Amino acid sequence: MATDKDGITPRAKDYGQWYLDVIKRADLAEHSGVRGCMVIKPHGYAIWEKMQRELDDRFKATGHVNAYFPLLIPISYLSKEEKHAAGFAKECAVVTHHRLKTIDGKVAVDPESLLEEPLIIRPTSETVIWAQYKNWIQSYRDLPLLINQWANVVRWEMRTRLFLRTAEFLWQEGHTAHATEKEAREETWRMLDVYADFAENVMATPVVKGRKSPAERFAGAFETLTIEGMMQDGKALQMGTSHYLGQNFSKAADVQFLNKEGKLEHPHATSWGVTTRLVGALIMTHSDDTGLVLPPKLAPIQVVIVPIHKTDEERVKVVEEARKVAAELKEQGLAVRVDDREGIMPGAKYYEWEAKGVPIRLEIGPKDLEKGSLCLVRRFMAEKPGETPEELRKRRKTFPPRAEAIASIKPTLDAMQKELLERARAFRAARTRVVDTIEDFEAYFKDPNAGFAWVHWAGEAKDEEQMAKRFETSVRCLPFEDQIPADARGEGKCLLTGKPSSQRVVMARAY
Amino acid sequence: MATDKDGITPRAKDYGQWYLDVIKRADLAEHSGVRGCMVIKPHGYAIWEKMQRELDDRFKATGHVNAYFPLLIPISYLSKEEKHAAGFAKECAVVTHHRLKTIDGKVAVDPESLLEEPLIIRPTSETVIWAQYKNWIQSYRDLPLLINQWANVVRWEMRTRLFLRTAEFLWQEGHTAHATEKEAREETWRMLDVYADFAENVMATPVVKGRKSPAERFAGAFETLTIEGMMQDGKALQMGTSHYLGQNFSKAADVQFLNKEGKLEHPHATSWGVTTRLVGALIMTHSDDTGLVLPPKLAPIQVVIVPIHKTDEERVKVVEEARKVAAELKEQGLAVRVDDREGIMPGAKYYEWEAKGVPIRLEIGPKDLEKGSLCLVRRFMAEKPGETPEELRKRRKTFPPRAEAIASIKPTLDAMQKELLERARAFRAARTRVVDTIEDFEAYFKDPNAGFAWVHWAGEAKDEEQMAKRFETSVRCLPFEDQIPADARGEGKCLLTGKPSSQRVVMARAY
């Protein structure tokens, strides 16, 4: 367990170490003894549960239902769709035997239990789900089929990073089937909008919506849409993707339906997913050198109440008051915790809950009881121009009368949710440049914390590789028209090749 | 897709086929192309989600938090606890390689990707979780550690049965650590009580709570507690288990904590779990020859509204009324579906929703609109003595005035929930015998649908084997004292060996 002696490396000093320190201090996750696999600790998992609930409600509101498909996929399934196989038949966990035996107290693989056909642990489920859809789809009446799965997947990874890249991770994967290309493409856009709405209005993380370049498409997709967020080191993070798969998978799995005219057709498919990587995105968008900062909508504990006392007599009274206040806040539907642990000083408790990102802290001492007031401390607050850290800290702490304090919690949390989004938007704006020449591009990306560059681009895959080699940047997306800032609109010429370009793209370094 | 022509084999004719037919007609699950793995279809998964929510709320109310641990377990972890290894190092999915490669368009295992140490897909997670607890537990202040995980597990199975026995299944597994044996044993009992409360008050399935005999204990446990339900063929089904693991796993993983006296000790462990098998138990406890019967608390759709119309003009009016009624019921927090699908006759809709177990159906036609009433049909109703099926069917259908109908839905659902539990209790009582001699036992179990026998038992493992061979029965549990019916209390002599026995046990055939 981390003690309050463990500090957090400042972001400005070492961003990578800061990220790990925040995770450790907030007690979100850690590496396991199993290569590449992480353990999501209770506080981290509680955030993921909140995300799941919000997303699941949105999936259901758009007509989707959940189901569950096998973890294991016969390798012959992969061979059916050529591009998909090329993309996913790589680093994965392969099951080859089905029995162990104990020899001299040591456990070993029983060689006689070799499987006829090896199985892989799903890296994604298109092939195994479409094999099943063959039984489910016969007529246009069976369409659209709108199914989502919450599951674990494994993609063997050599270099791992908590939440951002691990061999096993948790995700949801939507897999839908439609009678027409038009309907399927609409679904692809609809789900990207669901993700963008979740990112902005729940995670308080602004995103750019757009298309992936052919080089970055999902293996087997006709089109991949993406939302891209900006982290505090200026790097882009792909936060969710939605794919139009055409008839690739329905043909590979031999799925056909009778259309209204009585003719056999292959349905059109989509798939879309977000992962536990979003917890990493959340950390890197909002947190500070004190630890985790959480948007109130995703905070497993929204208000922590810390009773302060010296004598036993005081303790009884303030703890009683703390419980009363907690009960009143819980009635408002708020997630509240009274921290009446003994043997831990109030200061250590403040430190712990700030590191864990609890948005509001109430301190209740004997003097507050006397005065009929509460001490309310906000985890963060937008800085005013020219304000010193000391002034800001004072402003974060107020002493409203009890009733007023209790009535103010909900509006304060709403305000904090908005402030975080505004702060993230301002941060992104400050790290975004419209760039027209390769020289300006080079100059901009000399800064290791450079952000997004809006550039004209008409290069091919090999040109993208060249940019990656020179600047470590990539085309994050071809943004939808309504995503393009006013000063970046219009046609132009590719900054590398000089070829004509119809619109700008977002280039950035990325996770 | 099943059509309304597909019948359901009567329970009395072929119970095994009836079970499969109900699953098919209710569209709950099916086998996949992956050996031993099932697909949980949306209606089946929605029931599991309802179960999860109810259980998760109960776990959290008793102080537990969720977390997530790796899917893959190095085989060396298993060797650490001898009995556990003997129990679980058997049929399991073994990962030996981490890469595929495509050769001539065919996907194959890359032999160069052999892992140094094989990994198994978790059949249960004690070893991998306790390896992690080593980092989490240092002092008595870190205890109790009360953690639950929702996850998939794999136990290679040759003969599978939907929901009841499949290679992969979904479950929750609680893993707790305590400073003392007393606290750990209390936890074991507490969680068994949570399971029993869920079984009786949510699933409407009465259970017997008790201890497993040493032969039936979880591999590595000091004591295994169980809840046993009775299915409609009289067989027992183990519905949940809770284990006191002593210090076996904390010693194997070398976990120690400083107690209040400053001495190092190994913590005491428990684990407890229920699985998607509970969906099978639910089906087999309540369903009938018309299809699935669901306790209202677990029904994904509690009320279905079917509009009836001939002309287009009528359709517009009744569908509008159906939506109004649905909105009013949704405001009460009920799960409602308006089935306004076109091209399907009302009779076919009734048949479909009855097979899917929806507790209440409202039919709305032009005449109901005129009269200001609704037609309310209950999915099931307790039979009155001497009642004919026709009389019962009439009683299930009523025509209350609109307002009365809407006000009656919630109380009716509550009454149905109670009726199901009472019906299941009466069923169990009718199939339970107190048996004193092996001759009476033999006579009773000549009936393939015999139920529970309360017998005195003092046999050893080999005697249990003998009973299993002769009668296919097993000791389901050594019931807790308060579970024993009045006529089965007291001491006696083992019906097989004649040895003295301090209390009766439940013997039955089982799934």
Residue closest to A42 by CA, chosen among B67, B62, B125: B67
pLDDT higher than threshold 60 for residue B3: no
Of A91, A92, A97, Cβ closest to residue B96? A97
| pLDDT tens track for B326-342 | 999 999 999 999 999 99
Omega into A206 within 30° of 0, i.e. cis?
no
The tally of CA atoms less than 13 A away on the side-chain side of residue A326 is 21
Q: What is the pLDDT of residue B81?
A: 80
For chain A, which residues make up each domain, given as ranges? 15-286, 303-412, 432-508
Six-digit token string for B160: 């599978």
SS (H, E, C) B104-117: CCEEEECHHHEEEE
At residue B6 the predicted structure's pLDDT band, cuts being 50, 70 and 90, is low
Chain-chain contact of A75 with B34 (C-beta, under 8 angstroms): no
Residue among A45, A99, A131 minimizing CB distance to B156: A99
- CA distance linking residue A359 with residue A417, whole number of Å: 10
Q: Environment class of residue B115 by beta-carbon count within 10 Å: exposed (0-12), middle (13-18) or buried (19+)? A: middle
**CB of B60 less than 8 A from some CB of A:** no
pLDDT computed for residue A339 by the predictor: 98
| A343 contacts B141? CB cut-off 8 A | yes
511 residues of chain A, pLDDT tens digit each: 444 446 899 999 999 999 999 999 999 999 999 989 999 999 999 999 999 999 999 999 999 999 999 999 999 998 888 788 888 878 899 999 999 988 777 889 999 999 999 999 999 999 999 999 999 999 999 999 999 999 999 999 878 999 999 999 999 999 999 999 999 999 999 999 999 999 999 999 999 999 999 888 999 999 999 999 999 999 999 999 999 999 999 999 999 999 999 999 999 999 999 999 999 999 999 999 999 999 999 999 999 999 999 999 999 999 999 999 999 999 999 999 999 999 899 999 999 999 999 999 999 999 999 999 999 999 999 888 899 989 999 999 999 999 999 999 999 999 999 999 999 999 999 999 999 999 999 999 999 999 999 999 999 999 999 999 999 999 999 999 999 999 999 999 999 999 999 999 999 999 9
- Cβ pair B102:A118 closer than 8 A: no
Q: How far apart are the first and last CA of chain A?
A: 29
Residues of B in contact with A220 (CB under 8 A): none
What is the rounded CA–CA span in Å between residue A202 and residue A357?
A: 15
Instruction: Compute the distance between CA of residue A296 and CA of residue A45 in angstroms, rounded to an integer.
Output: 16
The answer to whether domain B15-95+121-286 and domain B301-411 are alike in fold is no
- Predicted confidence at residue A6, as pLDDT, reads 63
Q: Does B432-508 carry CATH code 3.30.565.10?
A: no
A 127-186 residues with CB below 8 A of B? 128, 131-132, 135-136, 138, 141-142, 147, 151-152, 154, 156, 168, 170
Strand order from edge to edge, sheet including B397-398: B336-338, B303-307, B360-364, B375-378, B397-398
CATH architecture of the domain with residue range B301-411: 3-Layer(aba) Sandwich (3.40)
CATH number of A15-286, picked from 3.40.50.720, 3.90.1150.10, 2.10.109.10, 3.30.930.10 = 3.30.930.10
pLDDT one-digit tens code per residue, B439-487:
999 999 999 999 999 999 999 999 999 999 999 999 999 999 999 999 9
Point out which residues pair with B112 in neighbouring strands. Answer: none
Task: Locate the chain B residue with the closest alpha carbon to A134.
Answer: B1
Token couple for B97: 């390689």
CATH entry, A303-412, from 3.40.50.20, 3.40.50.1820, 1.10.3810.10, 3.40.50.800: 3.40.50.800
CATH code for the domain defined by B15-95+121-286: 3.30.930.10
Give per-residue pLDDT as tens, B350-408.
999 999 999 999 999 999 999 999 999 999 998 888 999 899 999 999 999 999 999 99
CA atoms within 13 A of residue B452's CA, in its CB half-sphere: 28
User: Is the Cβ of A254 closer than 8 Å to some Cβ of chain B?
Assistant: no
The rounded mean pLDDT for chain B is 95
Would the pLDDT of B1 be above 50?
no
Helices (H), strands (E): how many in chain A? 15, 26
Q: Which of A404-408, B74-78, B80-84 has the highest mean pLDDT?
A: A404-408
Please name the member of A45, A86, A154 whose beta carbon is closest to the beta carbon of B66.
Answer: A45
Half-sphere exposure of B342 (CA within 13 A, CB side): 6
Q: For residue B192, what pLDDT is reported?
A: 98
Q: Strand pairing of A360-364 and A303-307?
A: parallel
Cross-chain CB nearest to B75 (options A66, A100, A119):
A100
The total of other beta-carbon atoms located within 10 Å of residue B346's CB is 14
- Out of A85, A93, A94, closest to residue B102 by CB: A85
User: What are phi and psi for residue A375, nearest 5 degrees?
Assistant: -95, 120
Element (H, E) at B71: none
- The answer to whether the CB atoms of B89 and A100 lie below 8 A apart is yes
Confidence label for B215 from pLDDT (cuts 50, 70 and 90): confident
3-state secondary structure of B42: helix
The residue of chain B with its CA nearest to that of A83 is B105
Residue among A20, A511, A471 nearest A235 (CA): A511
Interface predicted TM-score (ipTM) of this complex, two decimals: 0.96
Mean pLDDT check: name the lowest of A125-134, B211-220, B314-323. B211-220
Q: Is the dihedral of CA B442, B446, B447, B448 positive or negative?
A: positive
What is the distance in angstroms between the Cα of B96 and the nearest Cα belonging to chain A? 6
Judging contacts by C-beta atoms under 8 Å, the chain A residues touching residue B335 are none
Q: How far apart are CA A159 and CA A167, in angstroms?
A: 9
At B93-139, the pLDDT tens digits run: 999 999 998 877 788 999 999 999 999 999 999 999 999 999 999 99
d(CA B394, CA B388): 10
